Structure 1
Amino acid sequence: MEIADLRIALFSGNYNYTRDGANQALNRLVGSLLALGAKVRVYSPTVEKPAFEPTGDLIGVPSMGVPFGRGEYRLATHLGRKVKRDLQKFAPNLIHLSAPDFAAHAALRWAQDHDIPVLASVHTRFETYPRYYKLGFMEPFVVWLLRRFYNRCDALVAPSQSMIDELLAMDMHDDIALWSRGVDREIFSSEKRDMEWRRSLGLADDDIAIVFLGRLVMEKGLDVFAETIVQLRKRQVPHKVLVIGDGPARGWFEDNLPGGIFAGFQTGSDLGRATASGDIFFNPSITETFGNVTLEAMACGLPVVAAGATGAASLVDDWETGRLVPPAKDKIATAAAFAEAIEPYCTNHDLRARHGAAGEAKSKEYDWEAINRVVADTYVRLVEDRRALQEAEAAEAASS
């Protein structure tokens, strides 16, 4: 079977209505698949004014706003007759599920009813989310739900080896392939550093800017980031804070980061310029499965200080391209450990430059087309395996 023979129905909880790392990776994947001759149909919640134009054909699915103050995201609730008719007409030979929402569960049942293989991609650590909304008691239940969902699929793909190891340890599946992430080197490069842009924000040429890059939501570790800055100030470590991004927790972050410089949401070449104009990238999040922003910061020549958790653990080489800091017993102790790791980069120019250059060199290993080809090859394997099973069952039935 050739990649051009594939007919893929991709279900996404967010394909283009709000920009994030997961949906940008999915759009990149669809673009690669279409270039290889495959047929792709995308099913996702839609809005009147999406963040960007979708790659490929996009069909809207019924949805509702996500509760708990996250109304910018939509929750796909079911398939509906219109979507089922479109699926039937498209006649996919593989279903790809990228979020374990209600529509994905329905699509999984539809695929099983039609004897079609299913691949699920893991983009975030959903089981960690309850702890950021005072619902930590629900974490074991969420793990159970995820395990039940993923084990009904034929295979998984995950963006880092550290995430694959975590999924295996949690018995989420035993067939998990690596679908890493790439970086657009035309956007993200140390050459994009812009001193005039820095000055326009009030950063002096000799200021050391610690960068936060991403959506401003609590599950990105904003509380630990803010407490780490408190610890650095107590140590009288010279630094400034540059926040690149926006989101529902911006007000909280501004209140807890007095003196922080908020550059707001950036995209495209503006995002590359903003990232490269920082000096140190700090990512305390433990919810990442890969950490696109970490790779983008590395490509911009910034040393990275990150949580020693899934995602960053597969990207950052400790003491070579940055520092990996394991979580401590509580937030204060974790922040103190982060401050200790960040301090040398604020005071030692040579260390900062050396680790930043090493990170930029490593980022060149991440090529989108080669990475997406792995997913296409996994699709082909699953379809061929299903066809072989169907033929064997037919032959057995004929001989009995």
Structure 2
Amino acid sequence: METSDLRIALFSGNYNYVRDGANQALNRLVGYLLRQGAAVRIYSPVVENPDFPPTGDVVPIPALPFPGRGEYRAPLMIPPRAKRDLAAFAPNLIHVASPEILGHRAVSYGRKHNLPVVASVHTRFETYPRYYGLAFMEPVVEAALRRFYRRCDAIVAPSESMAQLLRDQRMSYDVGIWTRGVDKEIFTPARRDLAWRASLGIAADDVVITFVGRLVMEKGLDVFSDAIDLLAKRNVRHKVLVIGDGPARDWFEKRLPDAVFVGFQGGADLGRAVASSDILFNPSVTETFGNVTLEAKATGIPVVAAIATGSQSLVTNGVSGRLVTPGAIGDFAEALRYYCEHPDARRAAGKAGEAETVRFGWDAVNQQLVDTYVRLVRQRRAGGKGPARSRVP
């Protein structure tokens, strides 16, 4: 079987209406599949003014605004019209990108029609409740995720650290890797722009500590702010740059009144903004990979990150940056202080990080997932069966 024989039905709760690292990876994957001659059909909610145009053909799925997060949509079902489209498309594999109602329905469709199902894991949903005062719900969410992923033939994680966590959580017996790539034409030290910095009131000799990402509390905005406060109390000279937007922006701006907020940046503008920074500070523990960490490394700046899935596979502690116990404000501040006050160490870590990104080409990482697709379709055609129903908690 060849890649060109694949017919992939991709189900995503957010394919392009709100930009994030997960759906940008999915769009790159679809582009790669189409270039290899595969057929792809995407089933996802749509909005009138999405953040970016979709790659491939999208079949609209009905959805309602997500409670408390109206920018997102909660897909409800696979309606009859979409089921007819599925039947006409005749996929030989189902790919589900999120474990919500639509994902469950897609898995059920695959099992009913004897199609292999692959689930890609993009975020640690089980950690979200702790950011909203509901930490006691984490075991419940984890159990629900286990039930979902065990109904799939295989799951893929974007980093080895995340794959190992999924194994430890007994999410699946077939856990593979679909990592992420970086565009070296966009993310490169050559995009560093001191004139752009100056336009923001940042001097050439200022050390810029940068946050990159969607501004939501689960990205660790509280930890970031507390560490910056402690840095200021220790009289460490620095500037804070925030790249991104989101519902928590007002909170973050009030919490860090001296920071420079530049809003969402994309493409070459994002590459310039990151390369014009000096340190990336990523305290989040919710990512399964951490695209921003890889992109920062590609631009030649060190990363201070939480010891968490994704970052553990990307940052070599003491070489390309520092890994710190999640929530350890004092340790984060100390790591930031070190790089602020030791420019030679900052440059050495940035150079080492850039060298570590050489192996992250998009075509190579997408081929990893294509190989999984082909293996599962071959197995099913050879008489293999889907996953047995499991009652393991």
> Shorter-chain TM-score: what band?
over 0.9
Distance in 1, matches of 2:123 and 2:227, equals 24
Structure 2 counterparts to residues 110-189 of structure 1, below 5 A? 110-189=109-188
Q: Structure 1 residue 195 and structure 2 residue 165: aligned?
A: no
Aligned match of 1:375: 369
Distance in 1, matches of 2:81 and 2:24, equals 26
Aligned match of 1:36: 36
Q: Sequence identity of aligned pairs in percent?
A: 61
Q: Which of 343, 354, 357 is equivalent to 2:351? A: 357
Aligned match of 2:325: 326
Distance in 1, matches of 2:52 and 2:358, equals 26
Aligned match of 1:206: 205
Structure 2 counterparts to residues 1-400 of structure 1, below 5 A? 1-68=1-68, 70-327=69-326, 331=327, 334-389=328-383
Distance in 2, matches of 1:189 and 1:364, equals 12
Which SS does the other structure have where 1:42 is aligned?
A: strand
Distance in 2, matches of 1:221 and 1:77, equals 30
Distance in 1, matches of 2:384 and 2:158, equals 31
Distance in 1, matches of 2:128 and 2:76, equals 20
Aligned match of 1:394: none
Letter in 1 for 2:34: L
Q: Shift of the alpha carbon at 1:358?
A: 0.7
Q: Shift of the alpha carbon at 1:221?
A: 0.2
Which SS does the other structure have where 2:261 is aligned?
A: strand
Residues 246/390 of structure 1: CA separation in 2 closer, same or farther (3 Å cut): closer
Q: Shift of the alpha carbon at 1:128?
A: 0.5
Distance in 1, matches of 2:47 and 2:182, equals 27
Letter in 2 for 1:291: G
Letter in 1 for 2:265: Q
Letter in 2 for 1:133: Y
Which SS does the other structure have where 2:148 is aligned?
A: helix
Is there any run of 5+ residues in structure 1 with no aligned partner, and where? 392-400
TM-score scaled by structure 2?
0.97
Distance in 2, matches of 1:39 and 1:286, equals 35
Per-residue deviation, residues 232-287 of structure 1 (Å, max 9, x unmatched): 01111111100011100000001111201101111111110011001000000000
Distance in 1, matches of 2:119 and 2:71, equals 24
Which SS does the other structure have where 2:235 is aligned?
A: coil
Distance in 1, matches of 2:384 and 2:239, equals 62
Letter in 2 for 1:343: R
Q: Shift of the alpha carbon at 1:138?
A: 1.2
Residues 4/312 of structure 1: CA separation in 2 closer, same or farther (3 Å cut): same
Letter in 1 for 2:57: D
Distance in 1, matches of 2:20 and 2:256, equals 23
Letter in 2 for 1:357: K
Distance in 2, matches of 1:33 and 1:105, equals 24
Distance in 2, matches of 1:136 and 1:76, equals 25
Which SS does the other structure have where 2:214 is aligned?
A: coil
Letter in 1 for 2:66: V
Per-residue deviation, residues 21-46 of structure 1 (Å, max 9, x unmatched): 00000000001111111000001110
Letter in 2 for 1:389: G
Letter in 1 for 2:141: V
Residues 197/80 of structure 1: CA separation in 2 closer, same or farther (3 Å cut): same
Q: Shift of the alpha carbon at 1:389?
A: 1.4
Q: Shift of the alpha carbon at 1:390?
A: 5.9
Distance in 2, matches of 1:33 and 1:287, equals 28
Is there any run of 5+ residues in structure 2 with no aligned partner, and where? 386-393
Per-residue deviation, residues 362-385 of structure 1 (Å, max 9, x unmatched): 112101001101111100110111
Distance in 1, matches of 2:162 and 2:48, equals 34
Letter in 1 for 2:71: E
* 4+ residue runs over 3 A deviation: none
Residue range with higher mean Cα deviation, 381-390 or 158-167: 381-390
Aligned match of 2:388: none
Per-residue deviation, residues 57-112 of structure 1 (Å, max 9, x unmatched): 111101111112x1111111111111111111101000000000101111111111
Per-residue deviation, residues 128-157 of structure 1 (Å, max 9, x unmatched): 011111221211110010000000000011
Question: RMSD between aligned alpha carbons?
Answer: 0.9
